[in-house]
Amino acid sequence: MWMFSFYCCGMNMADIFLLKYKNIKGNLFTYYRQKTHGSSKSQLPIEVYITEPIAAIIKKWGNKEKSPNNYIFTIYEDSMTAEEMFQKKKNIVRMINGYIDWLGRKIGIKERLNTSTARHSYATILKNCLLYTSPSPRDGATS
């Protein structure tokens, strides 16, 4: 799930767990941020291009029953209450955080790793790529 979050532009775990097959249209999936859901009258959907790594994760770890209303990942069930979903999310995120932190320490990373680092790592890489690929005056760019 950590890598899925990273490959999906730092997608939040709450949003990953809520993805359903009906969110997939061709080579894209769309979703609305749960954190900001209902906070804006005109919230726009977020679109994510399904790259090979994303498709491979869905193929390996996703729900094999691909009916449109099925969750892509079998974290939640339709019969769960909001409280049950909250507790399940909290437990799964805690498990992911423990494992990814353990793995990081095993390979010599001293900083604590967790699901937020997937989000922030993607944002940092994107920011650095934009800094290096944006035209600048030294490249002959003019405003």
CA distance 71 to 135: 42
Q: Pick the range with the lowest mean pLDDT from 37-41, 123-127, 128-132.
A: 128-132
CA distance 8 to 6: 5
Predicted confidence at residue 139, as pLDDT, reads: 40
pLDDT digits (tens, 9 = 90+) for 13-42: 999 999 999 999 999 999 998 876 666 566
Whole-structure pTM value: 0.79
CA distance 143 to 134: 12
Burial label, 1 (beta-carbon count in 10 A; 0-12, 13-18, 19+)? buried
pLDDT at 142 over 90: no
pLDDT digits (tens, 9 = 90+) for 40-90: 566 788 899 999 999 999 999 999 999 999 999 999 999 999 999 999 999
For 51, residues 6+ apart whose C-beta sits below 8 A from its C-beta are 7
What's the average model confidence in pLDDT over 91-102?
95
Contact by Cβ (8 Å): 35, 12: yes
Give which of 4, 6, 16 is closest to 89, Cα–Cα: 16
